[in-house]
Chains A and B, each alone.
Chain A
Amino acid sequence: MLKFLKQVTDYTKEAVQAARFIGQGLSVTFDHMQRRPITVQYPYEKLIPSERFRGRIHFEFDKCISCEVCVRVCPINLPVVDWEFNKETKKKKLNHYSIDFGVCIFCGNCVEYCPTNCLSMTEEYDLSTYDRHELNFDNVALGRLPYKVTEDPMVQPLRELAYLPKGVLDPHGLPPGSRRAGKLPEEILEEAEGNGAK
């Protein structure tokens, strides 16, 4: 009999505890309702991509020496380098260059290994098209520079989380001139150089 009563009390205790935990959870969700949405309303507001952002690849036609290093370092040999040997100057002449961004994984190996720095990363990431073949950029399309988010009059630029002042989580309505947490790369560099001079 006593054992049964103990079972009953244990069961009740458990049920009450479960109810308390549910109440706790509910209060958490309820508290979240009064917080400001952190939504970035995309076509109107955009995050400023970081310095290391790996976006669409930019290509400078005149710098290219058709060495095909980009093709060799590419995981899937994606860049198409169309060149012919000019017998008079004894140099390779580049005719066409293209990268299909529908297949590219934006790993940045080509940019890393290009001996003449004719490849570089841009901040462009909105590459949606109605036809996948439109993503196959030729050397003209690769040579275009994207709009900078900060200079586009249609777009409200917003800072990414790592670029917000300490303790701030919402990029909306930051006071002008507010600094990100920590030192800027230039400051770190300056400091290091200062120490080196001593």
Chain B
Amino acid sequence: MNSGIDLQGSFIQILVDLGLTAEVARVAWLPLPMLLVLVGATLGVLVTTWLERKISAAAQQRIGPEFAGPLGMLIPIADGLKLLVKEDIIPAKADSLLFTLGPAIVVIPVFLSFLIVPFGQNLLITDLGIGIFLWISLSSIAPIGLLMAGYASNNKYSLLGGLRAAAQSISYEIPLALSVVAIAMMSNSLSTIDIVQQQSGYGILGWNVWRQPIGFLIFWIAALAECERLPFDLPEAEEELVAGYQTEYAGIKFGLFYLGSYVNLVLSSLFVSVLYLGGWNFIIPIEVMADWIGVSETTPWLQVITGSLGIIMTLLKAYLLVFLAILLRWTLPRVRIDQLLDLGWKFLLPVSLVNLLLTAALKLTFPVAFGG
């Protein structure tokens, strides 16, 4: 297995060749990935909000945004600008410190989780040893922020919304983590790179979704619940709770919640595609195709193509899942809070435990197919 493109290595090499020391070059490299994460995630959100509006419109036989730019593509930017310039209101009886801290605590972990999303062999920010569990642990910080926002608003709807958000996040975290454990067991690693690596080689047939169909479904349901998407958008159920924990928020703080929820959706879709749909792998393995046309894997132009194809494939899979989430939004009615907790504790939890046991048993019986 070749290492593919190494952007960091080449960047530092160029700076060193220009006469800088290796340490300075390394420091110069540092802000680039951070900026890339921020810009990339925000761009992803802009695309997602546009898709949400357009797909929702199509599902309801409407047209959707049309006049802001071609096909209304500038509408997310108009949205964002509107939220930026609106007045930032802190209610008089609210706890202003917690009120301000809430959205930040919700948003920052979501952006941090982008550190471990791989778009190619070396196209990720850090290949951490704990890998996927960084995401699991970071995503459990978000309910604290939601609860904080709900409590600090000093509003019964906000408090109820915050409590619901916390209850929901905590109960769906467990099946989510358990289905990730099953994947980690098959990959013998928590690193996202290794997880994708273990799925590559057989093209579409090697993807984890065939070995973990139950895990895939549980993960997707739990991820939707974690993102508070319909049918699990109880914390913001507008018919009951006005807007849940967001009720008292306006301007950019509301924008942060909005951004956070969409980044979370994109992130969850990315993780589903990484964990279950072969990440950056094409339907047919690149090595096989390179063999067919008789090109060595280490050819520079082939590596560039492989790299860009990896990014395109990851995004394509992720956005297919985003599409599915939006379609689900207009298909399913919202569940009640008791149904939600029933589904989480009485269905997803036992089924994911059975899935884990089954994976362990299969791993012992067929070590070849299940990563012995």
Contacts and interface: CB of A to CB of B under 8 A. Distances in A.
A127 interface: no
A2 interface: no
A25 B60 CA distance: 14
A106 to B, nearest CB: 28
A36 interface: yes
Contacts of B55: 33
Contacts of B57: 37
B61 A29 contact: no
A141 interface: no
Nearest to A27: B331
**Most interface-central of A28, A30, A32, A33 (chain B CB within 10 A):** A33
Contact of B62 (A15, A22, A37): A37
Interface in B40-69: 55, 57-63
Contact of A33 (B59, B328, B332, B347): B59
B331 A28 contact: yes
Contacts of A29: 59, 327, 330-331
Interface string A24-43: 01101110110111110100
Nearest to B330: A29
Contact of B327 (A15, A26, A35, A39): A26
A42 B347 CA distance: 48
A191 B78 CA distance: 59
A26 B62 CA distance: 18
Contacts, number: 33
B99 to A, nearest CB: 35
Nearest to A170: B61
Contacts of A39: 61-63
Contacts of B330: 29
- Chain B interface size, as a band, is 10 to 19
A35 B62 CA distance: 10
Nearest to A12: B351
A179 B124 CA distance: 63
Contacts of A35: 61
A11 to B, nearest CB: 9
Interface residues of A, number: 15
Given A22-B332, A37-B63, A32 B58 contact: yes
A25 B61 contact: no
**Most interface-central of B55, B63, B328, B331 (chain A CB within 10 A):** B331
A29 B55 CA distance: 10
A33 B63 CA distance: 11
Nearest to A26: B331
A30 B328 CA distance: 10
A36 B63 CA distance: 9
B54 to A, nearest CB: 10
B328 A26 contact: yes
A33 B58 contact: yes
A41 B328 CA distance: 27
B61 A36 contact: yes
Interface string B149-161: 0000000000000
Contacts of B332: 22, 25
B331 A32 contact: no
B225 to A, nearest CB: 15
A32 B59 contact: yes
A28 B330 CA distance: 10
B331 A37 contact: no
B304 to A, nearest CB: 35
B59 A25 contact: no
Contact of A32 (B60, B63, B328): B60
Interface in A12-59: 15, 22, 25-26, 28-30, 32-33, 35-39, 41
A37 B327 contact: no
Contacts of B60: 32
A36 B331 CA distance: 19
A36 B55 CA distance: 13
Nearest to B55: A33
B61 A37 contact: yes
A30 B62 contact: no
Interface in B321-357: 327-328, 330-332, 347
A37 B58 CA distance: 7
15 contacts: A22-B332, A26-B331, A28-B331, A29-B327, A29-B330, A29-B331, A32-B61, A33-B59, A37-B61, A37-B62, A37-B63, A38-B61, A39-B61, A39-B62, A39-B63
Interface of A: 15, 22, 25-26, 28-30, 32-33, 35-39, 41
Interface of B: 55, 57-63, 327-328, 330-332, 347
Q: What 4 A-B pairs are tightest by C-beta distance, nearest first?
A: A25-B331, A33-B58, A29-B331, A37-B63
Given A37-B57, A37-B63, A39-B62, 19 more contacts: A22-B332, A25-B332, A29-B59, A29-B330, A29-B331, A30-B327, A32-B58, A32-B61, A33-B55, A33-B58, A33-B59, A35-B61, A36-B61, A37-B58, A37-B62, A38-B61, A39-B61, A39-B63, A41-B63
